[in-house]
Structure 1
Amino acid sequence: MNLTGGIVLFAVIWFMVFFIALQIRPNSQADAGRVVPGTPPGAPVEVNLKRKALVTTLVAAVLWSVIASVILSGMVTLRDLDWFGRLEPKEQPAE
C-alpha cells in the first residue's frame, strides 16, 4: 500500500465511522419538547459535531492501523479474496 492508498483507506474508514457516530444519541427537538419555529420536529437539539469528529478520528485511526497492518503484513492478499478465480492465469491453448 502506498501513501495515496493509505490516505484513501483512512478517508473511507473515517466517513463510515462518522456516519455511524451521527446516529448515536440523536436527541430531537420533539423529544426535548423545544421545537424551534421553522424547523422540523426531528431536527437535533445539539449536534456536537466537534466532539463526534474527534471521537471519529480516534476510532478511525485505531481501525486504520489494524487494517493497514494486516494489509502490509501480507496476512491477507488479493489472491485470498479472489473467490471466483479471476486472478488465476489463463491457460494458453496448445499449438
Structure 2
Amino acid sequence: MRWTSLLAIYVLFWAFSVFLVLPFGVRTSAEAGETAMPGTAESAPHEFSLKRVVTRTTIVATTLFVLFVANDHFGWITARSLDVVDVVNAVG
C-alpha cells in the first residue's frame, strides 16, 4: 500500500476516533460541584481539555490503524470471511 493511502486511512481513523473519545471523561458543572454559568445548558461540560482529547484520540487512532495494517499484511479477516450470503447459499 502506498504511503499516501496509509496517511488517508490514518486520518479517517483519527477523525472517527475523535467522536469515539469525546464523550469520555466529561463532567458537567453539577457533577463538578460548581454552579453553571447563566445561559449554558445543564449538560454542557464544566471544563474542556483539547490536549487531553487529542492525546486520547491519537492513542486510539494509532492502535486501530496498527491493527488495520497488520490485518492487511497478515490477512486475519478477509472480505470472503465476512460473506454471509455465500455461506447461506452453500448450506441451503
TM-score scaled by structure 2?
A: 0.71
Partner Cα distance (1:60, 1:42) in 2: 27
- Paired amino acid for 1:80: S
How much identity, in percent, do the aligned residues show?
Answer: 31
How many residue pairs end up in the alignment? Answer: 85
**RMSD across aligned C-alpha pairs, in angstroms?**
2.1
Runs of 4+ in 1 over 6 A off after TM superposition: none
TM-score scaled by structure 1?
A: 0.69
Q: Quick check: 1:29 aligned with 2:32?
A: no
- The answer for unaligned runs of 5 or more in structure 1 is 86-95
Which structure is larger by alpha-carbon Rg, 1 or 2? 1
Aligned to 1:90: none
Higher helix proportion, which one? 2
Change (3 A) 1:3 1:82: farther
Aligned to 1:14: 14
Aligned to 2:89: none
1:1-39 Cα deviation digits (max 9, x unpaired):
444543343233323322232111211123232211121
- Paired amino acid for 2:7: I
Aligned to 1:48: 49
